[in-house]
Amino acid sequence: MIELNQITTLFLAVALYLLGMAIVNRIGFLNRFLIPAPVVGGLIFATLALVLKTTGIVEITLDTSLQTLFMIAFFTTIGLGASFKLIKMGGKLLVIYLLLCGVTVFLQNVIGVSFAGLFGIDPLLGVMAGAVSMNGGHGGAAAYGQTIEDLGISSALAVGMAAATLGLICGSISGGPVARYLIKKNDLKPASGKIEEYVEKDERPIKERSLMVQVGLLTFSMAAGTYLGDLFTNLTGFVLPSYIGAMFVAVIVRNLADRFIKGTVNMREINLIGDISLAIFLSMALMSIKLWEVADLALPLIGIILIQVIVLVLYAIFVMFPMLGKDYDAAVMISGFLGHGLGATPNAMANMAATVSKYGPSRTAFLIVPIVGAFLIDVVFSAPIIITTINLLK
């Protein structure tokens, strides 16, 4: 057996991210479907570890104790980006889109848990193949996977990561074609003047002093959020993922700063910290997957994901599109919805970018979808519904 210590595991996570990035840049399929670099690098190592173990050559164990730190840091940066001023710009349409996305969180959990029972697997694994990995992507799968594994379901993280990867691909494949279908069928054209293009005024050049201020805001939010999460769990008995409290505190910190100390938050620096944290967090989560624990779950998992995709596409076309106004902006938002509803917000942005590059701009879609997909859906619907579901099933 080979045991890698904390620092060596951290280095390996960074190295695998760099390897994944190089591979994604050189392989058209991976680049086209926006498969994240840490997913590629991490799965390569996880596959290698599987081969080495099953052939009896050697078993590799990792010290992933830093994984939680980077996970909390990433989600805290999302909270620090949640300016109420930006949210208000979306108006009524943002609220409608948020509510419609909230319904999908509930549907995905129902599908995941119901079909897990039908296929004879633990209902908590059905949760991992529901909104956790569909709306939450790899980040949500890694975060909640650890929570469910702590409840005794050893393969939860691996199932969640596999489901998130399948959802990522399906979200990338389905978003563009569905938007094209809606645009062609309804002869839709871009509209102008609905919402002015929003440019963040808090994105400034990166400087050492300012960067340390952002680190201070980040670590304060993380620390305070940890105590808030522990307090919530002790008072209610509900298991609360560690990053939720930190993200909630970060939202408060961001908007207090906007109100009383304008210019404190520099989103260019916050996003840099978030990108680094996410890369290491996901790489560490993927490379530590024990693939041999999910071999028997492959067919049930694929079946659940296919059902999720079919339901979401039909819901988008026949429910969301009419309620969003049946116009060009609605069609572009649908492409984004399928991106983050089955994968992650970067997928949503890529889907919408591909759509508008061919048919014309949609400032409304580019304002509303990222706010909902990257933050509001998680705080308002995903976290409460998922946490409640887990606690009901544990």
What are 359-390's pLDDT values in tens digits?
888 878 877 887 788 677 877 888 888 888 88
What pLDDT score was predicted for residue 194?
43
The boundaries of the domain holding residue 267 are: 2-393
CA distance linking residue 358 with residue 104, whole number of Å: 28
Task: Name the E strands within the chain.
Answer: 2-4, 60-62
What pLDDT score was predicted for residue 104?
94
What pLDDT score was predicted for residue 200?
45
CA distance linking residue 268 with residue 199, whole number of Å: 12
Q: Is the pLDDT of residue 134 over 70?
A: yes
Which string of DSSP letters, residue by residue, matches 71-116?
HHHHHHHHHHT--HHHHHTTHHHHHHHHHHHHHHHHHHHHHHHHHH
- Residue-wise pLDDT for 218-244, tens only, equals 999 999 998 888 887 788 776 666 777
CA distance linking residue 8 with residue 287, whole number of Å: 13
- Residue-wise pLDDT for 62-116, tens only, equals 998 898 899 889 888 878 887 777 777 767 898 999 999 999 999 999 999 999 8
Domain count of the fold of the chain: 1
CA distance linking residue 204 with residue 186, whole number of Å: 42
Q: Determine contact, residues 257/265, Cβ cutoff 8 Å.
A: yes
Cα–Cα separations (whole angstroms), residue 226 to 58, 106, 219, 220, 343: 38, 27, 10, 10, 27
First to last CA, the chain: 33
**Confidence category of residue 294, pLDDT binned at 50, 70, 90:** low
What pLDDT score was predicted for residue 198?
45
Q: Determine contact, residues 394/124, Cβ cutoff 8 Å.
A: yes
